[in-house]
Amino acid sequence: MRKILGTALLAAAVAMPVADALAQAAPRNTLVVMREIDAESYDPHRSTARGAGEVVYMMSDTLVSLDWDMRTVRPGLAERWEVSPDGKTYTFHLRRDVTFCDGRPMTADDVVYSIQRWVDPATRSPVRWRAGPIKEIRARDAHTVEYELTEPFGELLYQLTLFFASVIDKNTVERLGQNFGVQGFNGTGPYCWASWTPRQELVLTRHPTYSWGPPIYQNPRPQVERVIWRVIPEANTRLAAIQTGQADVTQYIPEIAVNQLRAVPTVRMSQQPNYFWDHFMGFKVDKPVVNDPAVRRAINLAVNRNAIVQATWFGQAQPADAYLNPNVTGFDPEAGRMVPQYNPDEARRVLDAAGWTPGADGIRVKNGERASFLVYGLQTAVARRYLEAIQADLRRVGIDMRVQLWDATVGWGRLATQEFDAFVMSYPYISATDGFALYFDSRNRPTPNRMNWNDPETDALLQRAKTALSEADRLAAIQAAQRRIASNYVWLPIAREGLWVAAAQRVEGARAHGIYGVGLYKGLDIRLTR
């Protein structure tokens, strides 16, 4: 009944007039991409937003690229590279045919300038640590870059696929100053900056000489004249627009509509099975109540992830039965098995054994302290839904979870404080070491290590995982780190999001990628049939 109603209403939506911005069919030879929110800037060294990344990937290139399997590093601006035996020096050999959008040839100096700008403290990039412990980066000749580290960093190539490592034009940066990425952009990507109307649309035009796309694409050249990134905040409007052909592509599809859209003949859907964007709850391990490992274990046991994921993501996400996606590089299956699975009776037994006895109101008490804790999160519909479900599951075993959701404008600041006991978050990662080094390194307290996890053994394992020279050593270290964390129940893994890209009938070749949560990546292979 609900399906019939949903389909009928979805069909009605097609007939509904949508926003003025979409009043006409998408223009010929112009790809209209819809998204939910804009970014505050398109400077790859200053913004960490996915909204910035999805456009920056089209406007610029990185030294190396990431394959669809999310594991294999492929050539990018560098056609090949070597790593010194001590793992400290990477030598990148650049392509010789690369030009910026203004026609100027790209050289090793541009790569050196871009990486140095990224890691320069004056740039204040919040993710400059991703560039590794750089000792020096230098141009050996016009087409060779030497990237020297103070110690080995096995993650480097993965990190250099991220849009923060984009190569940009020094002249344009100096000309625009703080307005680089706001008033203009000059990169080597398949599409070039044309105009930006904040919170409405960003227009790109084809880079006419571009032919150096990553080898993961069938055609290394862009095949669309213009790309318009249009902001359509309302999900129902995006749904209507994609079905009526008023817009061409979007990855921002409400999960509840995915199955219906798959049944719509005018829409093509592409899914990325190797999508690493997870939701979790982290516990501040030094705060009352959640400092008790028994409570953290009981919480893991009490939460019915399957039911929550089904009700929240409507089958378009996977219950996170481990700290990481099993498809990610460095995943440890044994650590995965250490995460307690749903068993509310066992949760009650664990709490009983730990001395938490039910109080008059059903909430457990131990030494006069109620089993009550406060969770912070950012205000999203998804977070609200799964938190309410977790809240209800925990009440059933006698734990009171209080929820405080914040608007993103103030939420990040609040999440850097010590005023809460647990928090929920979602994040993208490209490897096990990437995710774990970010959250569990004691040097990253109080944020992003908001759990205040301060464990020398974990730190040592993470350091080994980052610096080991052999793949086997790296794997052994990061897998041991996963077991260390899982056995202490530092998180409640919740869900692994799915990635779908919906494309209108006239669009071919729109394949979901998912690097840093970005659906279209370089946007190559996309062509319009009319």
Residue numbers of the site for other proteins (CB under 8 A)? 1-2, 5-6, 9-10, 12-13, 235-236, 239, 254, 256-257, 304, 307-308, 310-311, 379, 381, 384-385, 387-389, 391-392, 395, 402-407, 409-410, 414
In terms of CB distance, is 97 or 361 closer to other proteins? 361
In terms of CB distance, is 20 or 407 closer to other proteins? 407
In terms of CB distance, is 63 or 394 closer to other proteins? 394
Q: What are phi and psi of 500, to 5 degrees?
A: -125, 140
3-state secondary structure 432-458: HHHHHHHHHCHHHCCCCCCCCCCCHHH
In angstroms, give the least distance from the CB of 22 to other proteins. 17
Let me know if 483 is exposed, middle or buried by CB neighbors in 10 A (0-12, 13-18, 19+).
Answer: middle
In terms of CB distance, is 236 or 327 closer to other proteins? 236
In terms of CB distance, is 77 or 389 closer to other proteins? 389
> Taken in order 10, 15, 16, 21, is the CA torsion positive or negative?
positive
For residues 126 and 275, give the distance between their C-alpha atoms in angstroms, rounded to a whole number: 23
- Selection from 97, 101, 94, 96 nearest residue 115 by Cα: 94
For residues 407 and 413, give the distance between their C-alpha atoms in angstroms, rounded to a whole number: 10
Q: Is-cis flag, bond preceding 448, omega within 30? A: yes
Helical segments of 303-378, H only: 305-313, 333-337, 344-353
Helical segments of 60-192, H only: 108-119, 156-159, 170-176
In angstroms, give the least distance from the CB of 281 to other proteins. 14
Angle between helices 344-353 and 293-302 (to 10 degrees): 160
Place of tokens 């301060």: 454
In terms of CB distance, is 287 or 384 closer to other proteins? 384
- Selection from 214, 74, 81, 67 nearest residue 147 by Cα: 81
In angstroms, give the least distance from the CB of 372 to other proteins. 14
In terms of CB distance, is 256 or 476 closer to other proteins? 256
In terms of CB distance, is 6 or 288 closer to other proteins? 6
In angstroms, give the least distance from the CB of 12 to other proteins. 8
Tokens of 216: 């993961």
In angstroms, give the least distance from the CB of 24 to other proteins. 23
Tokens of 213: 């796309």
In angstroms, give the least distance from the CB of 413 to other proteins. 9
In terms of CB distance, is 145 or 382 closer to other proteins? 382
Spacing of C-alpha 301 from chain mean position: 27
Angle between helices 2-15 and 235-244 (to 10 degrees): 70
In terms of CB distance, is 256 or 354 closer to other proteins? 256
In angstroms, give the least distance from the CB of 13 to other proteins. 6
- Selection from 233, 273, 215 nearest residue 79 by Cα: 215
Place of tokens 């501040």: 284
Run of H or E residues at 196: strand 191-197
In terms of CB distance, is 13 or 438 closer to other proteins? 13
In terms of CB distance, is 218 or 409 closer to other proteins? 409
In angstroms, give the least distance from the CB of 502 to other proteins. 15
Which residues fall within 8 angstroms of residue 234, CB to CB, at 6 or more apart?
Answer: 19
In angstroms, give the least distance from the CB of 5 to other proteins. 7
Spacing of C-alpha 455 from chain mean position: 26
In angstroms, give the least distance from the CB of 261 to other proteins. 12
Under DSSP, the state recorded for 494 is E
Under DSSP, the state recorded for 69 is T
Identity of the amino acid at 60: S
For residues 448 and 403, give the distance between their C-alpha atoms in angstroms, rounded to a whole number: 20
For residues 151 and 136, give the distance between their C-alpha atoms in angstroms, rounded to a whole number: 12
Identity of the amino acid at 110: D
In angstroms, give the least distance from the CB of 404 to other proteins. 6
In terms of CB distance, is 331 or 420 closer to other proteins? 420
3-state secondary structure 209-240: CCCCCCCCCCCCCCCCCEEEEEECCCHHHHHH
In angstroms, give the least distance from the CB of 312 to other proteins. 8
In angstroms, give the least distance from the CB of 423 to other proteins. 14
